[in-house]
Amino acid sequence: MATSIAGSRAAGDEYLELLKDCLTGAMYDESAWKLIDGSYTGRFRITKEIRKWFLKALAKRGLRLVKANEFDAEKRAEGMDWPLFGYTMVGRKRLDQLQLAIEQIAAEGIQGDLLEAGVWRGGASLFMKATLNRLGLGDRKLWLADSFEGLPRPKQAADTKHRGHDLSNCDFLKVPQEDVVALFERFGLLDDNVKFLKGWFCDSLPTAQTGPLALLRLDGDLYESTMDILKPLYSKVVPGGFVVVDDFYTWAGCRDAIHEFRETHQINAEIHRIDASGAFWRVPLASSSAARAA
Ligand SMILES: C[S@@+](CC[C@H](N)C(=O)[O-])C[C@H]1O[C@@H](n2cnc3c(N)ncnc32)[C@H](O)[C@@H]1O
């Protein structure tokens, strides 16, 4: 049974709070803007704020920039939109949960690296790095795994049976590794403990040279991607460590993968709800190695 942690928002560190607003794009009205393709129907109003040269550049690519809605702060906090100017799709509540988890890792002395599989523009990973540094844990390795060229074309029935789950052609989701590196540099957070694992999860993760993991964050949307993360990495999550699933309540394929994996490996740890989409559980302290040997 899922329980809610809503309302347990971490607070008190102005730098991290400001970072959340910045990374989620919540401080910019422009976050509500949307890019749509050449099939523009006139349903949306082109914003006046856009400079002419920018519109022309977009038009050349068959794109228009439109203001679909006024900024919806609640939607952004829940991470239920794709912010045009934010650095993470994850909303504030999922960043709050990451902060709480890392604070618990520090307070309880849980050893291990942190890994996000599915980083997009890198904002959630960057927030993890900032929190680690803030807590004096900057020597922990932070691994960022992504194709850096978007989602794969779904192959498995668990994904193809869901309409709209093929996002392999979605350019918005294709963010090159150089852009993520540049983001870390821009925020002064790039150092030798930030490690990149480029490639499809099924290729990059089984041979990844990570140590034990204190936190594993899954954000690959699909059943296939979720399984490709869990199979090689779950057994690396230490007792007391966190398994955070970004898409648990919003992507049926991801949820199916989680249920199937937990059932196969007899994982009974309670699933906690974060917000409209995210969930997490902690590997029990007394978890047997048999259950964890995925
Ligand atoms: C929803 S985005 C991640 C959002 C991100 N965590 C954030 O903070 O905004 C999903 C990411 O997963 C990556 N991805 C999905 N499936 C993958 C796979 N099988 N192998 C490698 N990358 C994958 C995509 O390239 C994309 O960057």
Give 272 Cα–ligand 1 centroid separation in angstroms.
22
Please choose, from the candidates 131, 127, 113, the residue with its C-alpha nearest in 3D space to the C-alpha of residue 236: 113
User: What is 3-10+89-292's CATH number?
Assistant: 3.40.50.150
Beta carbon of 24 within 6 Å of any ligand 1 atom: no
Q: What is the pTM of this model?
A: 0.85
For residue 263, the SS3 value is helix
Give 148 Cα–ligand 1 centroid separation in angstroms.
8
Beta carbon of 31 within 6 Å of any ligand 1 atom: no
Domain boundaries, the chain: 3-10+89-292, 30-70
CA pair distance 217, 24, nearest whole angstrom: 17
Mutation probe of ligand 1 site: the residue of 151, 171, 177 with most atoms within 8 A of C-beta: 151
CA pair distance 215, 99, nearest whole angstrom: 11
Exposed, middle or buried: residue 27 (CB in 10 Å: 0-12, 13-18, 19+)? middle
Q: From the first residue on, what is the mean pLDDT of each consecutive set of 10 residues in the chain (294 residues)?
A: 38 85 86 55 43 69 62 80 86 96 97 98 98 96 98 90 84 94 97 98 98 98 97 98 97 96 97 97 75 50
CA pair distance 180, 210, nearest whole angstrom: 20
Ligand 1 atom closest to the CA of 124, numbered from 1: 8
Backbone angles phi, psi at 119, to 5 degrees: -110, -20
pLDDT at 64: 62
Query: From atom 25 of ligand 1, which residue's Cα is the shortest distance away?
Result: 150
